[in-house]
Amino acid sequence: MLDLQTYLRRGAACLVGLGLAALAGGCGDGEPQDGEPRYGCVDLPRPASTDAVALERVYPGVTAEGAIDLVRAPGDASRYYLPTQGGVLFSFSATGGGASLSVALDLTDAVALAGEAGLLGVAFHPDFASNGQVFVSYTAPGGGVFVSRVSRFTSADGGLTIARDSEVVVLELEQPYSNHNGGDLGFGQDGYLYFGLGDGGSGSDPLGSGQDTSTLLGAILRLDVDGAAPGQGYAIPPDNPFADGALGRPELYAWGLRNPWRFSFDPETGALWAGDVGQNQWEEVNLIERGGNYGWAIKEGSECFGADACDEAGLIDPVAAYRNHAVASVIAGQVYRGAALPELRGAFLYSDFYTGEIWAVRVGEAPQRLSASAGRQLTSWALDPEGELLGVRFDGALFKLVAAAPPDDDAETLPKTLSATGCFDVSSETGLVSQAFGYELNVPFWSDGASKRRWLALPEGATIGVGEGGDWELPVGAALVKTFELEGAPVETRLLVRHDDGGWAGYTYAWDEDGREARLLDEGESRALAGQTWRFPSRGECDFCHSAAAGHTLGLESAQLAREITGPEGQPVDQLAALAERGLLEAPPSATPLPSIDGPAPLEERARAYLHVNCSQCHRPEGPGGRARLDLRFSTPLAEMELCDAPPRAGDLGVADARLLAPGDPARSLLSARVRTLGSTRMPPVASSRVDEQGAELLDAWITALDVCPE
């Protein structure tokens, strides 16, 4: 077995020429052993799912970019409404398969659109069948950054169309920053309209809105839209906590919230449940009570915020909370009242936009995780007429919550130790297994200062395809191996595997302290290693970056691999040509190498290469960072990146007159601020707890050198 001292002494010829040695036949035993179905790794099965629920696509004809909710008119089971962040409210028949969407209301000319801004909520009046009233929450130009507005519209044809010119503004509030807009709307069983608002934005509640009852920010409001006096948008329910206005705004129902998204009423009990998106540590689910103070920014979750101790008197802790280990955003759902999943009846279900985890919780009980990743990029949950749950994905796809298939007790399991995978030879001096293929990249992804070694294994006789844009297409059965080292010792080995079903999955093996073995982690976790915090990502976090839009494998693209590597005798070798000679590629692809960030290439090219490697896996068309509307691929001209001199779309981090990239001014550029910060505002967000000073300085130098944005 390979002990730590042997690992630290690595420097033999095999390691000096790792890439070429692997291409020439590896540093292991040479030929694959009998029964090995692929070169270098045993056949790695997809672990049996432990999910209790799954999402089943419904209304397959429905797609609408930026979908943020799904609503129905009271008592009408025949039609659904799908609002989109950009300002269009679509509708479709609930009985026709959703084959076509029609526009019920178009507010695109009125909406101020940003990362968390736009059309945010729709609620039909309880008496819609007789009065035709629909209430819409959206952000609009005006005020400070923009205003949050609630307006009443009217339909004269039963909801097929909603008259654009029927708008009557009910409430309007200036927003000091561009994020934390909240925006959800809903009618309670009491007939009043509830409206959620975030704390006004930026970070750490700089205006103190959460605990300031003289502002409407950071609160859920309760409005009487039927009892308004002439010329007024609403009246105040007489039992609101500050109905007389003496101690706080009379509209307030509950406060101490950071960014409530979303809220819903239990259809049987009328109880109000809300999610509250956290800052760096905790995502919350709250049971909202009249006059309740939910703690922000004294507390985040059940912990004091930014302090070891705090005055918790009168504060209500969440019913459920979960840690934000990298990037997280709670999506509050609904109380399940259907019949298909009787074990969940009466439980409140919620999910996370990024990880896709789905949970159920009851008051006084610990949350139960129902799925590890099925709810990824869901923006909302809705109830169908039978009380079953429907999930709304940001691209408009709709899903029904169903019971997951029972696990196969006879299914193979993923090896619990790295040595058992066949992907890493812990008895060799390099770890490289026979017939695996080592490779090197022009620009490595920043991994908190860790050095990395990489190789891939393919099924015997398989080859690699090269897709449009240079992304490599690996066959079923392929496995990528990447080992991370801190101070010369291994800390983690990640496997990225393309399973027999054609899908990709990532797995993390954490090394023992003695360097003799690495063990499979079922969940993500953080450990103190080599004087820093090292994040072992969960499988959901792996999937978040290794997205389909980015080609899954990330580093395996022609521009990254077009380079010379050092052979075992010190000679330069063309890596692509060597891969072709081994039969992995039909021919060396034509590619311009991605410039090294510390090489002789022009400053702009090096900076954009850094963005391509560290940011574009999310910020590209169809990528998981699509809400920011950036395209940071190296191939995209700067003028088309939606970056230069663009206003913030997801908060300004407290930067005055901020731009995503302000030519000549890194101090006003959120691109610089985000790579230099930590916590939930950090970029890249996943599995990183250290700032890449070299990369940050490179970006600052590029920003400083820019005089104007290209046209």
Residue 422 clears pLDDT 60, i.e. is over it: yes
Q: Specify the pLDDT at position 469.
A: 83
The CATH number of whichever domain residue 366 belongs to comes to 2.120.10.30
Q: Specify the pLDDT at position 280.
A: 79
CA 679 from centre of chain = 14
User: How confident is the model over 362-390, as pLDDT tens digits?
Assistant: 999 999 999 998 999 999 999 999 999 99
User: CA-CA distance, 223 to 77, in Å (whole number)?
Assistant: 27
Half-sphere exposure of 73 (CA within 13 A, CB side): 24
Q: What is the average pLDDT score of the chain? A: 89
Pair 285, 425 in one domain? no
Q: Specify the pLDDT at position 1.
A: 30
H/E stretch holding 549 = none
Question: For 14-29, what is the mean pLDDT?
Answer: 40
Q: Specify the pLDDT at position 6.
A: 34
Using 50, 70 and 90 to split pLDDT, how confident is the model at 14?
Answer: very low
User: CA-CA distance, 129 to 510, in Å (whole number)?
Assistant: 60
Which DSSP string corresponds to 528-566? Answer: EETTEEEEE--HHHHHHHS-TTTTTTSS-BHHHH-SEEE
User: CA-CA distance, 173 to 118, in Å (whole number)?
Assistant: 14
Pair 348, 429 in one domain? no
Residue whose C-alpha is closest to residue 288's, from 174, 176, 186: 186
Q: Specify the pLDDT at position 7.
A: 31
Q: Specify the pLDDT at position 599.
A: 94
Pair 629, 613 in one domain? yes
Residue 574 clears pLDDT 50, i.e. is over it: yes
Helix (H, G, I), strand (E, B) or coil at 334: strand
Pair 353, 391 in one domain? yes
Residues 6+ apart with CB under 8 A from 222: 188, 192, 193, 194, 237, 240, 251, 252, 253, 290
The two tokens of residue 550 are 């980015």
User: CA-CA distance, 19 to 41, in Å (whole number)?
Assistant: 18
Question: For 676-698, what is the mean pLDDT?
Answer: 83
User: CA-CA distance, 441 to 430, in Å (whole number)?
Assistant: 18
Question: For 405-416, what is the mean pLDDT?
Answer: 82
Residues 6+ apart with CB under 8 A from 451: 484, 485
Residue whose C-alpha is closest to residue 274's, from 327, 221, 213, 204: 221
User: How confident is the model over 211-227, as pLDDT tens digits?
Assistant: 999 999 999 999 999 99
Exposed/middle/buried for residue 543 (C-beta within 10 Å: 0-12, 13-18, 19+): buried
Residue with token string 């389909």? 548
User: Residue by residue, what is the 3-state secondary structure of 339-387?
Assistant: CCCHHHCCCEEEEECCCCCEEEECCCCCCEEEECCCCCCEEEEEECCCC
Residues 6+ apart with CB under 8 A from 427: 1, 2
Pair 616, 571 in one domain? no
Angle of helix 693-705 versus helix 603-614 axis, rounded to 10: 130
Q: Which of 369, 386, 403 is the last residue of a domain?
A: 403
Q: Specify the pLDDT at position 625.
A: 66
Q: Is position 710 within any domain?
A: no
Residue with token string 């997809």? 46
Helix (H, G, I), strand (E, B) or coil at 580: helix
How many structural domains does the chain have? 3
Q: Specify the pLDDT at position 39.
A: 57
Pair 226, 100 in one domain? yes
Q: Is position 587 within any domain?
A: no
Strands across the sheet containing 185-187: 185-187, 193-197, 219-223, 252-255
Residue 268 clears pLDDT 70, i.e. is over it: yes
Using 50, 70 and 90 to split pLDDT, how confident is the model at 119?
Answer: very high
Q: Which structural domain range is residue 419 located in?
A: 4-48+411-581
User: 123-127, 322-326, 612-616, 679-683: which has the minimum mean pLDDT?
Assistant: 679-683
Pair 474, 377 in one domain? no
Residue 524 clears pLDDT 60, i.e. is over it: yes
Exposed/middle/buried for residue 224 (C-beta within 10 Å: 0-12, 13-18, 19+): middle
Q: Which of 362, 381, 403 is the last residue of a domain?
A: 403
Q: Is position 72 within any domain?
A: yes
Pair 392, 415 in one domain? no
User: CA-CA distance, 557 to 609, in Å (whole number)?
Assistant: 13
Q: Is position 477 within any domain?
A: yes
Q: Specify the pLDDT at position 421.
A: 92
Helix (H, G, I), strand (E, B) or coil at 16: helix
Pair 84, 188 in one domain? yes
Question: For 101-126, what is the mean pLDDT?
Answer: 95
The secondary structure of residue 67, as a DSSP letter, is: B
Radius of gyration of the chain (CA): 27
Q: Specify the pLDDT at position 460.
A: 85
Residue whose C-alpha is closest to residue 195's, from 131, 279, 138, 126: 138
Most confident of 19-28, 60-69, 122-131, 408-417: 122-131
User: CA-CA distance, 454 to 436, in Å (whole number)?
Assistant: 10
Q: Which of 356, 387, 403 is the last residue of a domain?
A: 403
Using 50, 70 and 90 to split pLDDT, how confident is the model at 28?
Answer: very low
Question: Which carries the bigger pLDDT value, residue 551 or residue 124?
Answer: 124
Query: How far is the CA of 154 from the CAs of 106, 151, 700, in angstroms?
Result: 13, 10, 51
Pair 19, 65 in one domain? no
